[in-house]
Structure 1
Amino acid sequence: MFKLGLVVNPLAGLGGPIAMKGSDGLDLSRVQDGDFGRSTARALRCLARIAAGNIGGITVYGFSGPMSAQAIDASDLNMAALPFVSVGNTANPNETTGSDTKNAALALLEAGVDLLLFVGGDGTARDICSAVGAEVPCLGVPAGVKMHSGVYAVSPESAADIVLALVAGGLVELGEREVRDIDEDAFRDGIVQAKYFGELLVPSIGGFLQHVKSGGREQEELVLADIADHIVELMDSETLYIMGPGSTAAAVMLALGLENTLLGFDAVCDSTLLGCDLSASAIMALIVSHNGPVKAVITAIGGQGHILGRGNQQLTPAVIRKIGRDNFIVIATKTKISQLHCRPLLVDSNDAALDLEWQGYIQVVTGYRDVVMYRVSASGD
């Protein structure tokens, strides 16, 4: 029997749509009702794939309530293939904390699980690492806003595939991967202060594990200026431009002579700044009220290749659909693209159907009047 430990951070990712850059110290009153359950939904995606491919022998262990059992109880799928065993409870099921994550991890270690599967972001990975270190294999299902650590599968489905390969006796490599987290208060002010917190023992196969986020040191000022000149040359006065996070997009704002939110979204029309550090709802409101075309400028996460679903969760599935795939402008240096080593760009919007719609090839602006075609993949496939 394969004993699969499960820890779900039910607050993971809630800070993304409201432009909070993370969920640490989050004021829950600011979160819209429809956003609750985001991490549970991603846990369900993973568990459903495990259940579909399970030939028997997997038992899920975890805390009763929102940190494990709820992810199974809330499903209308036939989860009989994944029986659940409770190993404890949270102190307050209405508002879980990092201490609950640590306690759950320790209880699962005591229960002798073969793999600890956790759903969250870098803060969750940090809590898991501080509790169990490398004493038990761990694998993250990405659900947070910050995703700097190298301990996460590229999607819930990819995490399931790793679990199934382990159960099937496949050649799954185990290696120590870095856990990194940042100061969210500084992050919200546009300052990235990533810190190494330790390593987890993580299973990986093929391209199913995301890489540690690169800091973009390969980006030269001249290349960024060339990309910016290309984008500015294409801009017209009737189009609303939603400018995404990152130093590549920041170069465009610099060329326009406009204020920039390095780690958030800004809106520009006719060389005029219409909004800074916008939330998902604010972006949607601008799109709906605009009487003309709308385009979004985004870039790829260095080392990982994600263009949706990492650090830009203000682009909710509804916002992405409203803008339309053909109205997204992807910008990246050739060095950043080459460092993917032929791996595709990835989309992980938290909407599986939407991710599949994005598969195929997309144009990537890599310099002044220099555009390449590159493959995009739904990160679960």
Structure 2
Amino acid sequence: MSRFHLGLIINPLAGLGGPAGLKGSDGVAEQALALGSQPLAAVRTRTALECLRTLRERLEFLTFAGPMGADLLAEMGFRYRVLGELHERPSSAADTRKAVELLQDAGVALILFAGGDGTARDVCAAVREGQPVLGIPAGVKIQSGVYAVSPRAAGELTARLIEGGLVRLASGEVRDIDEHALREGKVTARWYGELTVPQEGGYMQQVKQGGVESEELVLSDLADWLQASWEADVRYIFGPGSTLHGLAQNLGLETTLLGVDVIENGRVIALDVTEAQLFALVAGHPARLLVTAIGGQGHIIGRGNQQISPRVLRAVGLEHLRVVATKRKLATLSGRPLLVDSGDVQLDDAFPEVVRVWAGYKEELLYPVGK
């Protein structure tokens, strides 16, 4: 059984300044400790991780040494690997940024981090575009929109993702108040960037037949999104199936229902291509791959689309693969993961643990991939 890999970063100093009335913890951790404040970041992280205990056999954490994650995971009995050592005790901003870099290099599906707005700033400074992260609130002030509403909510949302529930991706703002100004009675917040965060993917607004999702409306919305975001001189591969065929029709393009077609600059340049033809079109040329899931079964590669071969996948790049599927279709999987069977075990193992699913206008979901 393959395991889901989660990154964990704890800022051990987060929240220390609150009980001491210091309006924050930035630069005043030693003072807060001297005033009797007790570190609570690990306690709040424990609350989040309690929600994952029943999934322990399906999980492996990647984390940083000591109080930044390893100590708590050892106490709770989770399987984990340590990727780095502390720069200084108990930790520093540089440690947080280094941890983010190492976790991304290791390919974790989601980075959980416990802290406040200062921690979110450090994560934002090191994270790569599109890397999903989720904050466990442990700071004094939480202005940033990248934290769950509570530690338990962070744990429940993570469990939902691991179990194959629909989890939508969104952009969350990273904001931080100037603590020095706050201690002088002035509230000054600043925007520092945005992070990609998961949100619970409830069903779309209720349309037709008592709230049943409309396939036609979803495909129309997806076509509007794609048409507004075509990349010039990039070749878009449309895999077979009624979902992508319907998407193409909404774009005013004639494609094949059961074939693989290639679109560039808003027009079809190749219909019903063979594997050899497809490889010739994408080798050395920027390309994006759109596939859909077989309803009720979940295969996205290796069933009815063998033209999308291992060498084609490598030429396009797995990072450029997107699954197009309505939430209704995903619901037919009953939480089971999407499946890949390219015929190349090494390539299948290289697939990310979660893929992005286009499910509506500017609506992306995270969904797990089984191996």
TM-score (normalised: structure 2)? 0.52
Cα distance, 1:30–1:51 mapped onto 2, change above 3 Å? same
- Please tell me whether residue 143 in structure 1 is matched to residue 144 in structure 2: no
Aligned-partner Cα distance in 2 for 1:193–1:108: 32
Cα distance, 1:34–1:64 mapped onto 2, change above 3 Å? same
RMSD: 1.7
Aligned-partner Cα distance in 2 for 1:175–1:27: 32
The residue aligned with 1:303 is none
Q: Which amino acid aligns with 2:62?
A: Y
Q: Which amino acid aligns with 1:50?
A: L
Query: Could you say what secondary structure the match of 2:13 adopts?
Result: coil
Query: Could you say what secondary structure the match of 2:42 adopts?
Result: helix
Aligned-pair distance for 1:130?
0.7
Aligned-pair distance for 1:188?
1.0
Aligned-pair distance for 1:122?
0.3
Query: Could you say what secondary structure the match of 2:52 adopts?
Result: helix
TM-score (normalised: structure 1)? 0.50
Aligned-pair distance for 1:192?
1.1
Percent identity of the aligned residues? 45
Q: Which amino acid aligns with 1:12?
A: A
> Is the Cα–Cα contact under 8 Å of residues 16 and 29 in structure 2 kept in the other structure?
no
Aligned-pair distance for 1:134?
2.9
Aligned-pair distance for 1:55?
6.2
Query: Could you say what secondary structure the match of 1:105 adopts?
Result: helix
The residue aligned with 1:63 is 64
Query: Could you say what secondary structure the match of 2:145 adopts?
Result: coil
The residue aligned with 2:20 is 18
Cα distance, 1:25–1:195 mapped onto 2, change above 3 Å? same
- Please tell me whether residue 106 in structure 1 is matched to residue 108 in structure 2: no
1:198 aligns with one of 162, 174, 193: 193
Aligned-partner Cα distance in 2 for 1:124–1:185: 17
Q: Which amino acid aligns with 1:61?
A: L
The residue aligned with 2:42 is 40
1:149-194: CA deviation from partner (whole Å, max 9, x where unpaired): 0100111111111111111111100111111011110011111111
> Is the Cα–Cα contact under 8 Å of residues 109 and 132 in structure 2 kept in the other structure?
yes
> Is the Cα–Cα contact under 8 Å of residues 17 and 32 in structure 2 kept in the other structure?
no
2:83 aligns with one of 78, 83, 87: 87
Aligned-pair distance for 1:30?
3.8
The residue aligned with 1:4 is 6
The residue aligned with 2:117 is 122
Aligned-pair distance for 1:206?
6.6
Q: Which amino acid aligns with 2:82?
A: S
The residue aligned with 1:166 is 161
> Is the Cα–Cα contact under 8 Å of residues 7 and 63 in structure 2 kept in the other structure?
yes
The residue aligned with 1:218 is none
Give the gaps of 5 or more residues in structure 1. Answer: 208-381
> Is the Cα–Cα contact under 8 Å of residues 15 and 145 in structure 1 kept in the other structure?
yes
Alignment of 1:212-251 (within 5 A): none
- Please tell me whether residue 156 in structure 1 is matched to residue 151 in structure 2: yes
Aligned-partner Cα distance in 1 for 2:159–2:49: 11
Q: Which amino acid aligns with 2:119?
A: T
Larger Rg: 2
